Each structure stands twice: as structure tokens, then as C-alpha cells.
A = this chain, B = another copy of it.
Amino acid sequence: MTRTGSPRLLREINDRAAIETLLRSGAMTRAELEEVIGLSKPATAQLLARLEEDGMVVRTGLRGGGRGPRAQMWAVNGGVGHVAAVALTPELIDVAIADITGSLLAEHSAPMPKDNTLRAFRETVQKAAVLAGLRLDALSHVVVGTPGAVDPATGHLGFAPHLPGLVDVDLPSTLRELLGTSVSIENDINLAALEEMSSGKAVGVRNFVLFWPADEIGSAVVVNGVLLRGVTGGAGEIDSMQIPGGRYGDQVDNEAIMALAATHGIAASSGVEAVAHALSTGERAFLSDLARRIALGLANVVCVLDPELVLLSGSVAQAGGETLCDLVAAELLELVVPRTPVQLAQITANPVRSGALHSALAVAREQVFGLPQRS
């Protein structure tokens, strides 16, 4: 039940601390590592020697400049593990390969075919691996970011995935066999939230909600620094939330936004276009109405979670910019007691794939080093 408590445990604790430090801060000298992990000189030296013996760390040159001899620099050996991150959309299969330190080794993408989806998936990942000089079985872990969510009980992809050939199967098992590696599947919005948390607006924020109005609406919930997935993988799937006027999804999805725009005399072929048009022409009434609708649903989320921050992301939010964001914040203030700040998400360049990469790194590091996940 409880930990063993033998001296061996100390080794593990210190080894993990050292590798974690080297991963977080990059290459450093033995003296710097001492400082961070709090071990003495001989202990740190032995630790590094042992990890080098095991191939876990490598020497990466000498540091010059200061007084005294040039200090040996140490870094985690990237070769001990590799990961793949895949962003799946109805249009594209987008793959990135990195080593365990997080260095990007290769990128490759291919259009999503009409059929033979699985085969195309495998070939695209394999091509990316080859570009990185790897075989598929060299991948420690693969994270696939996709619309919809996987129910852990069944492995089926639920919540309107729009991905032909990937429904009604146990997707994690299927992909695991297809690639011959450990695979996990994560909701795309969740991954975007992960990315905001590690290098966007939500750095250091332990409780926030990322709201994503696009073709489909959805959200990601982070509680105590951990992504909330839900028992059936459906946490944050607020499309079916009931607000005054009916289902939330029916009021802020693409069609609803276009319809709302039409009532304000704005003709547009998509919600994004309508918002962009309204913004450029200074049509505030439409944006206010839209903001009120968005805020109605957000208010319910804020009631339940009382988060530190609400982030708006996705194409519609980005089109609306700070203007829409401020309008939503003002409407939200009228509806709920907490004065939750609303901000635009920061990451715009492929947040899903970046988040998948972070997620894959966390899993692979746990596999290879036994590290519990950290950001």
C-alpha cells in the first residue's frame, strides 16, 4: 500500500528530480544541477555518471568563459524515446515527431482522404517517422488530437466527430494495433487548452475554461492544473447545454450565427465571415447580440466552476477579437456573481498539434523515466 521506504527509494527520487530538472531547464553543468536538486557534489557526480552509463543523459560540450576549468555540460539523451503528435481534422492529417526532450525532428501532413482513412493515417505517421530517421516502433507514444471525445469505457469516438472511418470502432485499440505503439486520443479543444496552459495565456493558471465557438462549439475545463476529461470523455461538451432559448449549440453554432447576422442585415457565408464583417463595418448590435448568447452559456459554466479565467479561442472568437471578447465579458458580469475575466486565447498556430505534442511528451516521459506528469 504505502511506499517501500528503503534507501533505494532515495535513488529514484533524486534521479527523477535530476532528469526533470534537465528536461525543464535544458543542458547544465553538474554544479548548476547540484544547486537545483539540492544534492552534494559527489552525489550529483555519481548520479550523472550512473545516468550516463544507462544512456539517459549525454555530455553536450563544455562551458567556457568563466574562471577555472571548463565545466562539462549535461543534457537528457533525446534518443531514449520519441513521440508523435497528430492533429486530425476532416481536412488534414498533420503529424509532428519529436524526441523526448521535446526537440521537433520532423513535420509531415497529408489531406484526409474520403475513405481508407486508417491506411492514410498510418502512412502519414510512418512518413513523418521516416523523415525523422525513425521506424514506427521507435515511437514511445503517439497522441492523436481530434474533434469529439473517446469514451474510456468503449473506446468509441463520440460527440459528432465528422471523421469517416473512425466511428463505431474501439479507436485506441485500433490505432494501437495499426501503429504498433502506445496511442492515446484526446479531444482537440482539450489539447488547445493544454497548450494555452504551457505557453499561452493560461501559464500558471490552475483553473480555467477554454471556450471554442467554431463549426461546433465545445470547451475545455482545467481544474487544479489538470485537464478534466469526464467519465465518458464528455467534460466540456456544452453543445447540449440548456439555456433560455433552447440548446446552447443551436444558438451559437455556425448556422445560428449566420441567421443572427441576417436579422441584422448582414449577409455572410459563414459565422466567421459575419463576425469579421460586423467588426470591420462597426456593426455593434449584431456583435452585442452574439456576445449575449455566448455569455449565457458561459455564465452556466462559471456558475459551476468559478474559474480564474475564461479563454475564448477558435475561428469565431479570433475573428471577433478583443471587441467581441470585451462584449462577452461585460455580458457575463451581468449574469453571474464572480467577476471572471474573459480573454482571447493566445496560441493561434496549430494549438491542437502543439498540445498533442506536450501531452505525448508527458506520457512518454512517464513511461521512460517514471516521471509523474508536470507542465
Contacts and interface: CB of A to CB of B under 8 A. Distances in A.
Interface of A: 1-7, 9-10, 13-14, 17, 20-21, 36-39, 43, 158-159, 207, 219, 221, 223-224, 226, 228-246, 296, 299-301, 303-308, 335-340
A235 B306 contact: yes
A38 B9 CA distance: 12
Contact of A224 (B4, B226, B336): B226
Given A234-B337, A242-B296, 18 more contacts: A2-B20, A2-B21, A2-B36, A5-B10, A5-B39, A9-B10, A9-B13, A228-B305, A228-B306, A232-B338, A234-B306, A238-B300, A240-B303, A240-B337, A242-B243, A242-B244, A242-B299, A244-B244
A110 B307 CA distance: 37
A221 B230 CA distance: 13
Given A5-B37, A7-B7, A336-B240, A304 B221 contact: yes
Contact of A231 (B5, B207, B240): B207
B304 A305 contact: yes
Given A5-B39, A242-B296, A338 B305 contact: no
17 contacts: A3-B38, A4-B38, A5-B37, A5-B38, A7-B10, A223-B228, A230-B306, A231-B338, A231-B340, A234-B303, A239-B303, A241-B304, A243-B300, A244-B244, A300-B304, A301-B304, A304-B305
